Each structure stands twice: as C-alpha cells, then as structure tokens.
Structure 1
Amino acid sequence: MTTDPSYESTLRELATDRGVLRYHEAGEGPPLLLLHGSGPGVTGWRNYRGNLGFFAAHFRCLILEFPGFGVSDSAGGHPMVTAEQSVTDFLDGLGLDRVHIVGNSMGGIVATRFAISHPERVDRLVTIGGIGKNVFSPGPGEGIRLLMDFTENPTREALVRWLHSMVYDPALVTEELIEERWTQATAPDTLASAREMYGRTAFAARSTAASDTAPYWAMLHKVQAPTLLTWGRDDRVSPVDMALLPMRTLPRGELHVFPDCGHWVMIEQKAAFESAVLAFLTRASTRESTREGSGR
C-alpha cells in the first residue's frame, strides 16, 4: 500500500465483533483521535501522515481507518453508518472513555454526530471543512460533483480533475499522489463502497431519506464540546459559506479560515493548521480562565 517505512511501524489492529479495525498509533499523552474523509483512494494515513509527527509530540495519536475504504475490514452497510459505529467500537476496544477528535470532511461529520450522541466522550472537537450547509453557494459543491463523476466513470482523467478540485495549489497533485489514489480507488471492494455513497442514484436516495429526519447540522446546538472549525478559504468541495450555520449554532464553536487553501487544510496549510489546533487543544478552558481571572 505504501513504501513509507513509518507506515508499518505505526500500524495496529483491533479485533471487534464487526471485523478488524486498523489504525496508526504514535505518541503519548491525552488521546487524540483523527478521522479521515471520503473520496477516491482516501485513507486515514494519507490524510494525516504529514501531521502525525507534530501531534505525537503532545498526544497519543490514533488514526482510525474506517471500514469500507480498503484498510480496515468492511463491515457491510452504508460507509457513513459503519464509520459512526466504528468510532464507538474502536474507543470501547481500546478502553478510552474520553478523547479529543479531529475530523476531516466526512470524518468531521462523523465526529460531530458522535459528539451529539456521546457528549460525555468528546473533550474537544476539531473539524476540517465538511460540516454545515450551503448558504450562498450551490450544493453539492464542485468537488462533490466531480467525485460523483469519478464514481460513475472511474478514469484517471476524472480522478485528476477531482484531485485538482481539492487543492488551491495544483502543484500538490503529483504523479505519486495520482498513482497511490488510483490504485486504491479502483480496487473492486473500495469502488463498490464509494458507489454506495457517491453513485448518483445512491446520493439522490440518501438526500431524499435525509429529508424525513432532522439532519445533523440542525442539531449542532447539542454539541457540548468546545469546537474549532477549520476551513480553507478556497475550498471547492465544502465552500466556506457552509461554516456560517455551525459558527452561529455551536454553543462553544469558533472558526479559523486559512487563505490560499482548498479542502485539505491539514496538508495545504500544514504548519498554520498544526499551530492553531495545538493552541486550541491545549489552552485552558474558557470556564477555567474565567474562574482564574475573577480570583476564585
């Protein structure tokens, strides 16, 4: 899967009733769970490999590989549903009662839903694009439409068009990136899983079904954890106007927008992202600061 020597050194396995969950672990300290996004050839390792060394100096980092994306065992069912269940299975399996969570795109939605359902288990929450609802821009965004194009007709050209929609700087779309994404994205099981999410028929059916229940973005007022929304100003997958609703309705939410940056904030604005997230995760809580400032 990768020629990176650090890949095997951090890779772990956890047996669960729904199959083996694979993950990467590094560092010591408070547990920090990192959840990846969706899209052709995605893995948790590819989302966060560049950030792991930085955060491992401060936290026990755990990069979970969701079922259905070619690394952990497939659990059957819709990938979004199995992703949510896998978070509970994973934390229970490791005996972790409470964690910080960083979620990229789909991983941010999964993390947010988990924080709504299990408020006692989330200390602080960081999202990278993805959550919220289009306010001014059309939905789905350009990147999602290109993702559906690839899923319906998986060609290298379609993959390259989608990859370019993910970034501000086209130089990030290297031949190495294209090749590693292409290899995994076209594996039969991975492609079948992707079609459950982004095939046009499946996408339309999910949107219709969602209209019968309250969407997660309408329940953001239930998120109790302090939340940092991170966003690329030039995101063409989840345009930045999507941040307006969560920014207003999250009880303890704040927003950091990065310039010259697309959907992959943790990659394209690596140093600035790491600095902002570390400051957020390690600073004293507002309530503690208020007590100290009042002399109590």
Structure 2
Amino acid sequence: MDTAFEAMKREAVTDAGVLRYHEAGDGPPLLMLHGSGIGVSGWRNYRGSLAAFAKHYHCYVLEFPGFGISDPVAGNPVGTAMDSVVRFMDALGIESAAVIGNSLGGVVGLNLAIHHPSRVDKLVCLGGVGPNLFTQPLSEGSQILQDFTEQPTRENLIRWLRCMSYSPELVTEELIEERWQTALDPDALESIKSMYGKEAFAERLRVLTDTDRPPYWAMMHKVVCPTLLAWGREDRQTPLDMALLPMRSIPHAELHVFPNCGHWIMLEAKDAFERVTLEFLQR
C-alpha cells in the first residue's frame, strides 16, 4: 500500500489550541509546510509526494491555523504560522528538523531559520520567498486572489487554479470541486483576506518603507542552514525574479528551476521535485 494512504491523521494539543497534522514514515524528522491560497491544506499540497519522503523520513504535514483545519488564532497568518511550527515542535518534542515549505510555507520555514536557527537542519523553499525585483509587487496570481477576497465566486477560484499551473490539464473538475468545498470556510476566507485583500496589500507596501520593521528578506543573510530554492520557470504567483535575492543573500543557498512548470512544483513536476529534493536532503 502507498505510504501516503497510510499516513495517520493526528492532533497536537498546545497552549494556543489544537494543531492537526498527518504523520508517516520513519527516520529523521521532516516538516512539510503548506502554502496559502483558496481551499489550501497541507494534505492537499503533499499527499502525492508523501510516500516518496516517508521512505526516508518521519514526515509531519502540519496544518496552519486559519485555514479551516487547525484551531484558528488571532493575528497575521504568516506570523501565527511560524509560531504554530514552534508550538508544534515543542508539543512533539522535536528539537530540530529538515523543513520543506511551499510558498507561504517557505516563508514560514525561512523565518523559522532566521529566528530559531537551531531548529532547522535543512530548508527547501518551493517558490514564494524574496521580493519582486523585475515584476510588479502584486503578481497575476495575487491579483486574482485579491479579486477572490472581494468576490469569492467559483469563477474566480477557477481563474486562480489555472494561474497556478503551466499545464491546463492539471486543473480538473475534481480539483475545482475539492477546493470549492472548503473555499468558503470563514477561517479560510479571513486568512486569505488578511494576506491578499486590498488593506493587506497596502500594509505590505507600508512595511517595505518602515525602517523599524525590516521585511524578512532583509534578514536572509542570517539563515545558516543549507537551503534549496526550487522554482517553476512559469510561476505566475511568485515569479522567478523573486529567487534572485534569496539565492544571493542566503549563504548556503542553491537554486533549481523546473521548466514547463508553474507555482505548484510538487504537483506539476512531481517526480523531478521528489528526486531533486531527496538528493539535497540526503547529501
């Protein structure tokens, strides 16, 4: 039986609520952190690749607060997500682990490596980290997410799903229906609005000019662990130019670009993603 289907659904009780996760495999700990977006979850991000990683690692697919699965907490989802990882590791007695983070999950993993360096052995960021250098700050994918916060319709969901992938065939009716079923969860809607709504975008621009609160990517030189930056060449959510500053700033960073691939590397370039990531983690 595929290890992914043997993954156990579990709960970790913390002082700020219950964190839910899937667990599979044996070996060194590997945290798998999901991205943001419409109807997203850790299980949906990683269920297809969990079997490959569970052959070598004790995998934990964590569900962040605010996405309709783990208990919600107050605050910005990026900040609360990092706090939830620390709470999760403390609850399970995980001193340090390798981390794979997709998009938001990569930002969370990067912040964890900056502020809690002893807890991250190796880091894999699947798109999402760094600033836009040559493209507009509000990418095509983020613009559609903003449209969804204003009008949470099935049509806007489909527009966003099609923007995430290079290959149209990835957006099936099954995927659309699965995402739509959870897209209108109040916690998930509030989470998306707090990251991609018009007010959130205005706040993001304000932070960029606030010298008292430097953005996380201004502190990437503090990441001491080996880091793999993985990007889809055709990413329309977090365009490839975002990879340039982290590639240059993180001391032990390397970049792998997957051709004919959008934002969802683990789905659209599944075999290559698993091969490249496992080689990096096991090196």
- TM-score exceeds 0.5: yes
The residue number in structure 1 matching 2:82 is: 84
The residue number in structure 2 matching 1:157 is: 155
CA deviation string 1:65-124 (max 9, x = no partner): 000001101012221111010010000001011100000000100100000001111100
Of 62-71 and 136-145, the range deviating more from structure 2: 136-145
Q: 1:111 aligns with which of 109, 112, 119?
A: 109
CA distance in 1, matches of 2:96, 2:15: 21
2:148–2:157 CA contact under 8 A, matched in 1: yes
Q: Does 1:54 align with 2:52?
A: yes
Question: Could you list the runs of 5+ residues in structure 1 that have no partner in the other structure?
Answer: 284-296
CA distance in 1, matches of 2:208, 2:91: 30
Q: SS where residue 204 of structure 2 aligns?
A: helix
Give the percent of matched residue pairs that are identical in Structure 1 and Structure 2.
59
The residue number in structure 1 matching 2:222 is: 222
The residue number in structure 2 matching 1:241 is: 241
Alignment of 1:1-296 (within 5 A): 9-212=7-210, 213-283=213-283
Compute the displacement of 1:136 (Å): 1.4
Q: Which amino acid aligns with 2:46?
A: Y
CA distance in 2, matches of 1:190, 1:242: 26
Q: Which amino acid aligns with 1:150?
A: F
CA deviation string 1:255-284 (max 9, x = no partner): 00000000000110000010000000001x
Question: Could you list the runs of 5+ residues in structure 2 that have no partner in the other structure?
Answer: none
CA distance in 1, matches of 2:6, 2:279: 30
Q: Which amino acid aligns with 1:161?
A: R
CA distance in 2, matches of 1:200, 1:73: 25
- Higher radius of gyration, 1 or 2: 1
Q: Which amino acid aligns with 1:34?
A: M
Q: SS where residue 274 of structure 2 aligns?
A: helix
CA distance in 2, matches of 1:111, 1:52: 18
CA distance in 2, matches of 1:47, 1:141: 21
2:128–2:238 CA contact under 8 A, matched in 1: yes
Q: SS where residue 257 of structure 2 aligns?
A: strand
Q: SS where residue 260 of structure 1 aligns?
A: coil
CA distance in 2, matches of 1:223, 1:239: 22
CA deviation string 1:166-186 (max 9, x = no partner): 000011101111111111111
2:207–2:215 CA contact under 8 A, matched in 1: no
CA distance in 1, matches of 2:189, 2:280: 36
CA deviation string 1:233-276 (max 9, x = no partner): 00001111111111111100000000000000011000001000
